Structure 1
Amino acid sequence: MIKRLVVICITIISYGAYAQQGTASPYSFYGIGSLKFKGTVENRSMGGIGVYLDSIHVNLRNPASYVGDNLNGPYFDGESRPVKFTVAATSNNSTLKSNSGESEASSSTFDYLALSVPVGKFGFGFGLLPYTSVGYKLDDINDSQDLENRYFGEGGVNRVFAGLGYKISDKLSVGVDFNYNFGNIQNTAIAVEYTPEGELVQYQTREYNRSDLSGLNLNFGLAYRTMISDKLELSATLAYAPESKLSSENQRNISTVVLNTDYEVVGLGNTIEVDLESQNLKNTDLTIPSRLSFGGGIGAPRSWFVGAEYTLQNTADFSNPIFSNQISSFENASQIALGGFYIPDYNAFSGYFKRVVYRAGLNFSNTGLVVKDESIREFGMSFGLGLPVGNRSLFSNANLGVEFGRRGTTNENLIQENFINLNVSLSLNARWFRQKKYN
């Protein structure tokens, strides 16, 4: 059964890695897309909190986690810090609702690939993840129910990272991630014209924009854990990413196109490259706002945990002339997340489901995006399972999670998204540096 589960997980993740339509949200039209990375499957199954750090899961929210954990006692014959590997994918299904009707949309994507290696008092982390994603198709319909404009886009920003953690003491650790961000965003707009008789004119106008993005940023982390009684443990974390820049190399062209009756492009006419250099838009800098998160929690080691985390991002500082428009702006973003887990008996000799990790959580957030003077807010709740797989002494597991949520509003003719995310990951542990116990 367990081997079959691992095969199923790998199949789903492999599918997600190739099906890189990372989002179907109309709100990915704005800025550099919708935030794709919101933590590991374990984090997201607990409402998105990154407060809990242990020795058998990679926590990508806080680089202080790379050093692992010795506080909870010997998981692995007195050597409690294994090499950790994790990979994940997500499938999303959304109902997009407006005042004029509703439609369905779906997407699936690879989420992250990461490796954490502890060495002495240090720990190293490496990985790849999609950071933001663009994937939308929007139609502008007039009062006569005729299509006037069609907008669609794709792309996003990916992130390669390398991190270093250091254990100051058994209770306190620090870390830093070095992130290289790269990717491209492509936006297309078609203006539809009609004859007096209501027929499509022969040639329509299409505008195509592409921005190639790249830049570096840092993420600092701090983690503190201590036993406050014989059975209770206190955890506290802090993470801070300072403001950084992305370089954006931009291009724009205008083409005449032929559309069929389904408004699909079936022919291409003349194309003119727009001189962005004369408008000082050929190369621009995009501001990535600073981000601060802090949280705390309490629990019994290897049994249960509850925690809360608050995140603030200065998205009011986001700027790039090439992405500006008249109906949207940005304000500071924030999120409150609550969550935790329960394990009936992590080391039970019989009863598989006694060793399963049961997770749950919820979150409330202001995304920072303002459209037509309406703040775009999001609410979500999540549930998950950590299913033990493989050698029991290594505590590897397959993580399954489901998120239910709502984003946006139908006010001002905007769109409200009701979404379901299905998340799956493998968290695998190995012993690379096992000490010899006998000569």
Structure 2
Amino acid sequence: MIKKILVAFLLLTSVTFLAQRTNSSPYSYFGIGEEFSGTTVEQSSMGGIGVAFNHYKYLNFTNPAAYADLRYTTYSFGILNNNLTVKSNISEQNANSTSLSYLALAFPIGNKAGLSIGLQPVSSVGYSLSNSIPDGIGGVSEISVFAGDGGVSRVYGSFGIKVAKGLSVGLEADYSFGNIDNSVINQKANISLATKYNEVTVLDGTSVKLGAQYQKELKNKLILNAGATFKVGNSLNVTGNDYLYSFAFGASGSESPRDTVSTSEINGKFNLPFKSIIGFGLGKQDKWYAGLEYENQDAISTTGLLASTNGAYQYGSSNRISFGGFYLPKINSISNYWNRVTYRAGVRLEKSGLLVGGSETNTNFTPIDDFGISFGLGLPLQRLSTVNMGFEFGKRGTINNNLIEENYFNFRLSLSLTDTWFIKRKID
């Protein structure tokens, strides 16, 4: 009964976090916003690896083929807290945000297959930036304020099955949906009315991912793992409206619209090309594991989005390389609790593919790269359930070319409730 109450509470809490999703990165201005890591807390703590990794009770958001090895029903709920330090050539600012990482359920189907369904945020938009133009005598002649909020989420279903000894394949399908509101306000000195460009869009689309895993037992109980996934190219449909109008600020700072200069419909796409991930790992069951993973994707293309209309950014090919693993001293230790704790660590180097123009002419574009070091703990509860904590320190972007450097600390927390659902009990 207590577990059922806890599951219901976590479900309601996750809906609240999804509704209150926040973000504070200036780079969420571009495209569909800042993309969330599509990994579990356990995977994130190991540098984001997962394409070759499988386990009888852990979720795996990277490779659907991993669910073929699932032997217990697992409900998992994850939260991310992001502490961000944003730095430019002339100033520095701190921000903090909390968001849902995932809400997922997975269960075995017989002895050779498994299924998972869940809800995850894909991206988040949440920025407020200002740019002032001095008048040469100590004042400001013009100020522009850029603001945005919203994001994209997805519901997914993953299925994995063993097709031969040591070989599993999997299929994942998802539906992404969301809305984004971007705006630019411009106010000139000695002019009573300001102008505002507002873009309100709705996004939706589907995608399919194929996966495979192979494992072979070597000498001394060592297990060699290999895995790969291929996500078919897909598009997010972008529909909505944009408005250009003048307004006056009220006494409380509220807007009082006056004249609509123009309005038009938006009908575009955010095109995501083919993505591949390959990886290898070596370890011993419930003892240790080390893995290496590489991800690659061609350049994203987009039409009908606010940032793309003024040439502020471009996309190039992206890639990521991750290395990580875990160590579990003694899974069945009775005398020492810390011997039953899983210790994880990893490192990640990523080229996001985002190229940002740091000058008004937008002729000099700088790649926005990301580097992170992570570690974490898996704290066992009763039976097979665990509390997982992950910590990540990282750096993204650069202050070169008049851009922004972000130094971040991510704290991730998840609760994985594991049980033997859907199994017929035998009576002796």
TM-score (norm 2): 0.90
Matched, 1:60 2:66: no
In structure 2, the partner of 1:388 is 380
Matched, 1:224 2:217: no
In 2, the alpha carbon distance for the partners of 1:140 and 1:228 equals 61
In structure 2, the partner of 1:354 is 339
Counting only pairs closer than 5 Å after superposition, residues 3-402 of structure 1 correspond to structure 2 as 17=17, 20-50=20-50, 51-69=52-70, 81-120=71-110, 121-143=112-134, 146=140, 148-195=143-190, 201-259=191-249, 265-270=253-258, 272=260, 274-277=262-265, 282-314=266-298, 316-323=299-306, 324=308, 325-372=310-357, 373-391=365-383, 395-402=384-391
The worse-fitting range, judged by mean Cα deviation, of 33-42 and 401-410 is 33-42
Q: 1:229 offset after TM fit, Å?
A: 1.3
In 2, the alpha carbon distance for the partners of 1:88 and 1:380 equals 19
In 2, the alpha carbon distance for the partners of 1:13 and 1:292 equals 34
Amino acid corresponding to residue 209 of structure 2 in structure 1: N
- Give aligned-pair identity as a percent: 36
Amino acid corresponding to residue 237 of structure 1 in structure 2: G
Amino acid corresponding to residue 257 of structure 1 in structure 2: F
Amino acid corresponding to residue 53 of structure 1 in structure 2: N
In 1, the alpha carbon distance for the partners of 2:232 and 2:197 equals 35
Q: Structure 1 residues 387 and 119 mapped into 2: Cα distance closer, same or farther (>3 Å)? A: same
Deviation by residue 1:219-251 (Cα, 9 ceiling, x = unmatched): 111111111112211111101111111111120
In 2, the alpha carbon distance for the partners of 1:232 and 1:13 equals 41
Matched, 1:422 2:422: no
In structure 2, the partner of 1:198 is none
Deviation by residue 1:3-33 (Cα, 9 ceiling, x = unmatched): 9xx99x9699659715734321111111111
SS in 2 for 1:42: helix
Q: 1:40 offset after TM fit, Å?
A: 0.6
Amino acid corresponding to residue 397 of structure 1 in structure 2: T
Any unmatched runs of 5+ in structure 1? 70-80, 196-200
Amino acid corresponding to residue 377 of structure 1 in structure 2: D
Q: Structure 1 residues 16 and 42 mapped into 2: Cα distance closer, same or farther (>3 Å)? A: farther
In 2, the alpha carbon distance for the partners of 1:433 and 1:12 equals 24
In 2, the alpha carbon distance for the partners of 1:354 and 1:11 equals 31
Amino acid corresponding to residue 66 of structure 1 in structure 2: Y
Q: 1:259 offset after TM fit, Å?
A: 3.4
In structure 1, the partner of 2:361 is none
Q: 1:42 offset after TM fit, Å?
A: 0.5
Any unmatched runs of 5+ in structure 2? 358-364
Q: Structure 1 residues 66 and 47 mapped into 2: Cα distance closer, same or farther (>3 Å)? A: same
Q: Structure 1 residues 170 and 54 mapped into 2: Cα distance closer, same or farther (>3 Å)? A: farther
Q: Does the 8 Å CA contact 1:255/1:268 hold for their aligned counterparts?
A: no
Q: 1:436 offset after TM fit, Å?
A: 3.9
Q: Structure 1 residues 98 and 18 mapped into 2: Cα distance closer, same or farther (>3 Å)? A: same
SS in 2 for 1:321: coil
Deviation by residue 1:24-58 (Cα, 9 ceiling, x = unmatched): 11111111111113301011000111132101111
Amino acid corresponding to residue 148 of structure 2 in structure 1: G
Q: Does the 8 Å CA contact 1:39/1:60 hold for their aligned counterparts?
A: yes
In 2, the alpha carbon distance for the partners of 1:176 and 1:15 equals 26
Deviation by residue 1:353-396 (Cα, 9 ceiling, x = unmatched): 100000011111111000121000010001100000122xxx21
Q: Does the 8 Å CA contact 1:156/1:185 hold for their aligned counterparts?
A: yes
Deviation by residue 1:167-226 (Cα, 9 ceiling, x = unmatched): 11341111111110100111011001102xxxxx32211111011011111011111111
In 1, the alpha carbon distance for the partners of 2:318 and 2:173 equals 23
Amino acid corresponding to residue 91 of structure 1 in structure 2: N
SS in 2 for 1:434: coil
Q: 1:397 offset after TM fit, Å?
A: 0.3
Q: 1:143 offset after TM fit, Å?
A: 4.0
Q: 1:326 offset after TM fit, Å?
A: 1.4
In 1, the alpha carbon distance for the partners of 2:287 and 2:415 equals 21
Q: Does the 8 Å CA contact 1:47/1:361 hold for their aligned counterparts?
A: yes
In 2, the alpha carbon distance for the partners of 1:156 and 1:301 equals 39
In 1, the alpha carbon distance for the partners of 2:160 and 2:150 equals 32
Q: Structure 1 residues 214 and 371 mapped into 2: Cα distance closer, same or farther (>3 Å)? A: same
Deviation by residue 1:48-72 (Cα, 9 ceiling, x = unmatched): 1113210111111111122225xxx
In structure 2, the partner of 1:78 is none
Q: Does the 8 Å CA contact 2:171/2:208 hold for their aligned counterparts?
A: yes
Q: Structure 1 residues 42 and 33 mapped into 2: Cα distance closer, same or farther (>3 Å)? A: same
Deviation by residue 1:109-155 (Cα, 9 ceiling, x = unmatched): 01111111211222111000001111111111224573621001011
The worse-fitting range, judged by mean Cα deviation, of 135-144 and 112-121 is 135-144
Q: Structure 1 residues 223 and 13 mapped into 2: Cα distance closer, same or farther (>3 Å)? A: farther
Q: Does the 8 Å CA contact 1:253/1:271 hold for their aligned counterparts?
A: no
RMSD: 2.3
SS in 1 for 2:204: strand
In 1, the alpha carbon distance for the partners of 2:182 and 2:92 equals 23
Q: Structure 1 residues 215 and 272 mapped into 2: Cα distance closer, same or farther (>3 Å)? A: same
In structure 1, the partner of 2:362 is none
Q: 1:85 offset after TM fit, Å?
A: 1.1
In structure 2, the partner of 1:77 is none
User: How many residue pairs align between the two structures?
Assistant: 408
Q: Does the 8 Å CA contact 2:346/2:373 hold for their aligned counterparts?
A: yes
SS in 1 for 2:55: coil
TM-score (norm 1): 0.88
SS in 1 for 2:164: coil
Q: Structure 1 residues 31 and 435 mapped into 2: Cα distance closer, same or farther (>3 Å)? A: same
